[in-house]
Amino acid sequence: MDWIQNTNKLSLLLENLSVKDACQKELGYENGFKLWYEMGLACKNLDKCVYFVGNGASASMASHFSADLTKQVGVRSSVFTDLSLLTALANDISYEKAYAEALRLNMRKGDMLIAISSSGNSTNIVNAINVARELNGTVTTISAMDENNAIRRLGDLNFYIVASTYGFAETGHTAILHYWIDMLHQAEQK
């Protein structure tokens, strides 16, 4: 595949972005981004915190977008990529529950969790979502690969692209997150 074919495929994947609500109703990307934008503004206005979780490249995205959300939009944000914390929780509890336990210790009612997973099936991400729900937080999931992946049905908003490779999934997820933060940042500039 050459560069133009690659970018055309990515564009098509993003044009076919699926966004479903907690009841699995398809919202369409315009309505989905509008609702997520409103959720982000509510976090800012109510001084809530937005937590990000992911594994591998998704952990890097979590860290990147947590920083962007705080710096560009002024929303309190946190990510659990500190090696000491993550390895202590993984060692003492289990890796599958490390993010969940970090959330249990930090998340408050009305905070938001953004769960990023290419496969959508990582046990530690599923467990984090379940704890966020227990703590009355809102949840946005961003996934790819299998359309029936585990996290796609667990969020208040569930963003999904049909990407079947990590390259397309991760590039698409980056575009989704940048778009959301740019929406919030532009509102700040007005």
In order along its 190 residues, the chain shows pLDDT tens digits of 799 999 999 999 999 999 999 999 999 999 999 999 999 999 999 999 999 999 999 999 999 999 999 999 999 999 998 999 999 999 999 999 999 999 999 999 999 999 999 999 999 999 999 999 999 999 999 999 999 999 999 999 999 999 999 999 999 999 999 999 999 999 877 7
Q: Could you tell me the pTM of the whole model? A: 0.97
pLDDT of residue 136: 98
pLDDT of residue 190: 72
CA–CA dist 132, 103 (Å, integer)? 7
CA–CA dist 93, 82 (Å, integer)? 16
CA–CA dist 121, 9 (Å, integer)? 24
Query: Strand pairing partners for 153?
Result: none
pLDDT of residue 189: 79
> Domains in the chain, please, with CATH?
20-189 (3.40.50.10490)
